[in-house]
């Protein structure tokens, strides 16, 4: 994967640009959070305008995974309201897509997102790899062994909602939430990392890394393998959207103690092209 390490950028500071929907005569704006220069895979904030209507059929020749941050839209008879989640295999055919009042999505594509008119070629779509719709708000939070995303039980202050787990690679997508007054746990005296990529988007609350700063709603990380950050905690609590790439989630903790403050200096780790957009939380706009 040719995406650079990002920890972290606030989406509010990024510019809007036109998306691939422009080729179909539809104005859908996006904020690019990270992009793979080799494959075109991208994570972005997608904004559907009020009154949008896109006649079907249509498909994407890549995986389209999304979480609705605000508003709602419909595809055929399926309503995607706030906190809806979907994982759509390449070739999933969309019928008419419309949004009366507009919507904002956290959208993730496994290759360059090219909305393509018509039915997908035979054999492209895999129903077994598709989650058409989940109402994440209605799902129950899990903790302890049942809520574990690493194979080790969660503490009583941490909760998860598992949205997707790949049965072959153990890659997963989940919501990860902490109660307020969440200091770094004893297992985290210093920084920590993973042998795989962890992608993080802050849905609400504040998530603090002692070495890079305070992340608020709209903060985004593409946390590359073996990059150390932390310790981590939160005064307010948080709700994170997390995707794991490259295998199961494994935490590696440094035994060397590192300083922690709930109000650390703003010091994100960013590639040069994103450094110009580095601004500290808080922001007045949600995304």
Give residue 1's pLDDT.
54
Among 115, 137, 159, the domain boundary falls at 137
pLDDT tens for residues 140-158?
Answer: 999 999 999 999 999 999 9
pLDDT tens for residues 106-137?
Answer: 999 999 888 888 888 988 999 999 999 999 99
Higher-confidence residue of 203 and 97: namely 203
Q: What is the pTM of this model?
A: 0.95
Among 111, 137, 163, the domain boundary falls at 137
CATH of the domain at 74: 2.60.120.10
Give the mean model confidence (pLDDT) for residues 174-192.
95
Q: How confident is the model at residue 226 (pLDDT cuts 50, 70, 90)?
A: very high
Instruction: Please count the structural domains in the chain.
Output: 2
Secondary structure class of 4 (helix, strand, coil): coil
Q: What is the mean pLDDT of the chain?
A: 93
Give the mean model confidence (pLDDT) for residues 217-224.
97
Give residue 284's pLDDT.
72
Does any domain span residue 202?
yes
Q: Identify whether residues 133 and 187 lie together within a single domain.
A: no
Give the mean model confidence (pLDDT) for residues 96-111.
94
Q: Which residues contact 184 (CB under 8 A, 6 or more apart)?
A: 210, 230, 231, 232, 233, 260
- Write out the residue range of the structural domain in which residue 191 sits: 139-275
Does any domain span residue 36?
yes
Distances (CA, A) of 200 to 103, 123, 125, 204, 217: 21, 32, 28, 12, 11
pLDDT tens for residues 12-67?
Answer: 999 998 887 767 677 889 999 999 999 999 999 999 999 998 887 888 899 999 99
Give residue 25's pLDDT.
72
Among residues of the chain, what percentage have pLDDT more than 90?
Answer: 80
| Pick from 17-26, 67-76, 155-164: least confident | 17-26
Q: Identify whether residues 126 and 144 lie together within a single domain.
A: no
Give residue 207's pLDDT.
97
Q: Identify whether residues 145 and 33 lie together within a single domain.
A: no
Among residues of the chain, what percentage have pLDDT more than 70?
Answer: 99
pLDDT tens for residues 253-263?
Answer: 999 999 999 99
Q: DSSP per residue over 225-276, as a string?
A: TT--B--EEBSS-EEEEEEEESSS---EE-SS-----SS-----B--HHHHT
Does any domain span residue 261?
yes
Q: Identify whether residues 54 and 147 lie together within a single domain.
A: no
Give residue 97's pLDDT.
87
Q: Which residues contact 97 (CB under 8 A, 6 or more apart)?
A: 52, 53, 54, 56, 58, 73, 74, 75
Give residue 60's pLDDT.
87
Does any domain span residue 211?
yes
Half-sphere exposure of residue 287, counting CA atoms within 13 Å on the CB side?
21
Nearest CA among 240, 242, 237, 239 for reference residue 262: 237
């Amino acid at each position: 994967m040719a995406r650079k390490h990002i920890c972290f950028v606030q989406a509010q500071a990024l510019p809007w640009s036109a998306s691939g929907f422009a080729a179909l005569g539809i104005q859908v704006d996006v904020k690019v959070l990270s992009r793979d220069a080799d494959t075109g895979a991208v994570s972005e904030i997608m904004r559907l305008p009020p009154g949008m209507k896109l006649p079907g059929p249509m498909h994407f020749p890549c995986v389209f995974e999304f979480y609705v941050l605000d508003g709602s839209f419909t595809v055929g008879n399926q309503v995607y309201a706030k906190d809806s989640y979907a994982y759509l295999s390449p070739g999933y055919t969309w019928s008419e897509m419309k949004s009366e009042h507009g919507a904002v999505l956290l959208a993730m594509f496994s290759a360059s997102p090219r909305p393509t008119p018509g039915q997908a070629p035979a054999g492209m779509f895999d129903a077994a790899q598709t989650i058409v719709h989940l109402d994440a708000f209605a799902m129950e939070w899990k903790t302890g062994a049942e809520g574990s995303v690493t194979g080790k039980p969660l503490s009583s202050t941490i909760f998860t909602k598992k949205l997707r787990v790949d049965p072959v690679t153990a890659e997963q997508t989940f919501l990860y939430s902490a109660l307020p007054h969440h200091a770094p746990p004893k297992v985290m005296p210093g920084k920590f990392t993973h042998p795989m990529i962890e992608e993080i988007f802050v849905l609400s609350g504040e998530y603090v890394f002692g070495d890079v700063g305070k992340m608020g709603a709209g903060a985004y990380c593409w946390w590359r393998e073996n990059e150390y950050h932390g310790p981590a905690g939160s005064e307010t609590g948080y709700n994170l959207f997390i995707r794991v790439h490259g295998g199961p989630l494994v935490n590696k903790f440094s035994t060397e103690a590192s300083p922690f403050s709930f109000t650390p200096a703003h010091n994100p780790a960013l590639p040069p092209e994103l450094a110009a957009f580095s601004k500290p939380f808080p922001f007045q706009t949600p995304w």
